[in-house]
Amino acid sequence: MRYDFIPVAECEMCGSYRHKVLGIRLNRQQGKKPRDVVGIAVGIKQCLDCELIFSDPRPKPSDISDHYGIPPEHYWVTPSAWEISDTYFAQEIAEAKQLLGFHPGMKALDIGAGMGKGMISLQRAGFDVWGIEPSEPFRSNAIERMGIPIDRLQLAGVEDAVFPTATFDFITFGAVLEHIQEPGRAIQRAMGWLKPGGVIHAEVPSSKWLISKIANMFFSARGVNYVSNLSPMHSPFHLYEFGLPSFQKHAERVGYDIAQHRYQVCTIYHVPRVFHPLLRFYMNKTQTGMQLTVWLRRRC
């Protein structure tokens, strides 16, 4: 895999130049003894003004297919992975309808549509749906295996997709922004496709995640400067972790409102199961779960 390494001067979300160094991250799984692992490392920093965590320099693959060109069957090997239950994306759709004052035929855009499951769920819920997907294997499977109309799913990233201004009522970035080189600019571009009063949904890794902090304390206690945050050069290729202030500061720059947000614990990794109930309680209480979900409304 070949990369360009892009120096980072200002925070992608808030524009701040005030950052602190958290440590370094390898281009492969580090394990408990990262000093014994051979690899290339990049610095991991956190913005002091909006809590965004990012790598500096930021690795950019020479071809996006180096990260996302793997056939979907390599990710989802069981037949059930291709099935769409009645509950798939149901909570998010219900929230979108409530925020929009929904009526049938409202237009929705799924950014990073993957296999097309979200598009199908949105269509079943009464939306008129489009999507974009930068991975050719994923787009092909969505069309050929899932039945997504070819003219409804662009082979494109948010950076080069083309839609008329003020087209959509609802846009979703489900587990996408952390993979995009410039997420702040991606949100700004998507806002241009949104109708006034429309909403954007985004699910992102939280920079407050307790398990990462525990893992970093473990590394620090062993006298090494490695951290567990991000995975910019290995699966799942996360380039960013976000704080709620990341969106609050970005909203001030771009001009939108945060309609609502929530933190979710999600799956607990790398910790014995006996501690899960206590950790789950604590993360719910302190809002330090793995995932942050935000709803962004374009101002009228």
**DSSP-derived 3-state class of residue 226:** strand
> Which tokens belong to 4?
């360009």
pLDDT at residue 1, as a whole number: 79
Q: For residues 221-245, b (16+ Cβ closer than 10 Å) or e, as one string?
A: eeeeebbbbbbbbbeebbbbbbbbb
Give this prediction's pTM.
0.94
> Tens digit of pLDDT for each residue in 227-274?
999 999 999 999 999 999 999 999 999 999 999 999 999 999 888 999
**Region 138-163: what's the mean pLDDT?**
95
- Quickly list H helices, the chain: 65-68, 90-100, 117-124, 136-144, 183-193, 210-221, 244-254, 276-286
Q: Pairing mode, if any, of strands 256-264 and 291-298?
A: antiparallel
**Region 62-87: what's the mean pLDDT?**
69
Q: SS3 string of 76-101? A: CCCHHHHCCCCCCCHHHHHHHHHHHC
Q: With a cut of 70, say whether residue 32 has pLDDT above it.
A: yes
Confidence at 80, pLDDT banded by 50, 70, 90:
low
- DSSP secondary structure letter of residue 266: -
CATH of 3-298, one of 3.40.50.720, 3.40.50.150, 3.40.50.300, 3.40.800.20: 3.40.50.150
> Helices 117-124 and 90-100 sit at what angle, rounded to 10 degrees?
50
Most confident of 21-25, 59-63, 67-71: 21-25
> Tens digit of pLDDT for each residue in 279-288?
999 999 999 9
Extents of the domains making up the chain: 3-298
DSSP string computed for 173-211 = EET-GGGSS-HHHHHHHHHHHEEEEEEEEEEEEBTT-HH
pLDDT at residue 79, as a whole number: 61
Q: Are 128 and 102 in contact (CB under 8 A)?
A: no
Confidence at 34, pLDDT banded by 50, 70, 90:
confident
Confidence at 67, pLDDT banded by 50, 70, 90:
confident
